Amino acid sequence: MNTARIRDNLLSVQDRIADAARRSGRDPASVTLVAVTKKRPVAMVRPLVEAGMLDLGENYPQELWEKVDALADGPAAIRWHLIGHLQGNKARRTFPMVRVIHAVDSLKLLRTLDELAGEVADPPAVCLQVNTSDEEAKHGWKDAAVLTDADAIAACSRIRLIGLMTMAAYGTDAETARPSFIRLRAIRDALAGRIGRPLPDLSMGMSNDYEAAVEEGATLVRVGSALFEGVDS
C-alpha cells in the first residue's frame, strides 16, 4: 500500500481547505477536516493517524465500533465522528465513543441523545441533519421544516447541539452543490435565532465539493475518497 500517497493526498486536501478559507476571509483554523474512513481497512487508516489526522469519521455504528477497537492501541487523542444514520437502539453503545454525531435526523433521536447526555460527564456534541437538496432518499429534516421544531429542539437542553449538517445531491459538482450550502447556513442562522443559542458549526462538504462548502462557511468537512485516491488497499 502506498502510504506516501495517503500523506500527499492529506496535505493536498488540507492546503485546498486553507486556500478556500482564506479566499472567503476565514481563518483556516476555523475548519476541521474529518477524514472519512468508512469501508477502508484499518491498514489504510493508520497512515492518516500517523500523519496527525486525529478527526476520523465513520458512517455505520457497527463499523465505527470495530475501528475504535482496532485503533485502541493508537493515540488516545483520536476524535471519532459518526457521520451516518444512527438507530436509536445503537445510540447508547455509540455515545461514549464519539466526539460529534453529525447526522441527528429526527426529533426522536435528538430526544434519545438528550436523555443519554444527562447520564454522562462529557457527552458528544451533535448536529442536526437537514436535507437541503430536495432528494427523497436523504435522511433528516426537509429543509426549513427544522424551524417548525425549534421549540422542541430548544427543550433538549442537555445535549450539546453545535449546528447543522447537510449532504449535497449525489454525483454533483461543487457549483451544483453550492446552493445547498448557502441554504444550510441560512437555516442555521434562523434556527439559532429561534432557539436563542448559537449554532456555530456547519458540517458540509465532501470530496467533490468541500472547497465550495468552506467558502460558504463549513466548519466541519467530511472528506473520504480524495484522501485515498491512487492508494491500493
The residues of the shown chain that bind ligand PLP, judged by CB under 6 A, are 36, 38, 59, 83-84, 167, 206-207, 222-226
Quick count: other Cβ atoms within 10 Å of Cβ 7? 17
Whichever of 153 and 167 has its CB closer to ligand PLP, that residue is 167
Nearest-approach distance from CB 206 to ligand PLP, in angstroms: 4
Residue nearest to ligand PLP (CB): 224
Whichever of 83 and 202 has its CB closer to ligand PLP, that residue is 83
Nearest-approach distance from CB 207 to ligand PLP, in angstroms: 3
Nearest-approach distance from CB 32 to ligand PLP, in angstroms: 13
Report d(CA 66, CA 94) in Å as an integer.
11
Whichever of 32 and 59 has its CB closer to ligand PLP, that residue is 59
Cross-strand pairs, 165 = 129, 203
Whichever of 13 and 146 has its CB closer to ligand PLP, that residue is 13
Whichever of 127 and 199 has its CB closer to ligand PLP, that residue is 127
Q: Which amino acid is at 208?
A: N
Nearest-approach distance from CB 166 to ligand PLP, in angstroms: 9
Helix (H) or strand (E) holding 152: helix 150-155
What is the residue whose three cell numbers read 429543509? Answer: 143
Q: Which residues, 6 or more positions from 219, have their beta carbon under 8 angstroms from its beta carbon?
A: 30, 31, 32, 163, 200, 201, 202, 203
Report d(CA 189, CA 199) in Å as an integer.
8
Contact 64, 81 (CB under 8 A): no
Nearest-approach distance from CB 55 to ligand PLP, in angstroms: 13
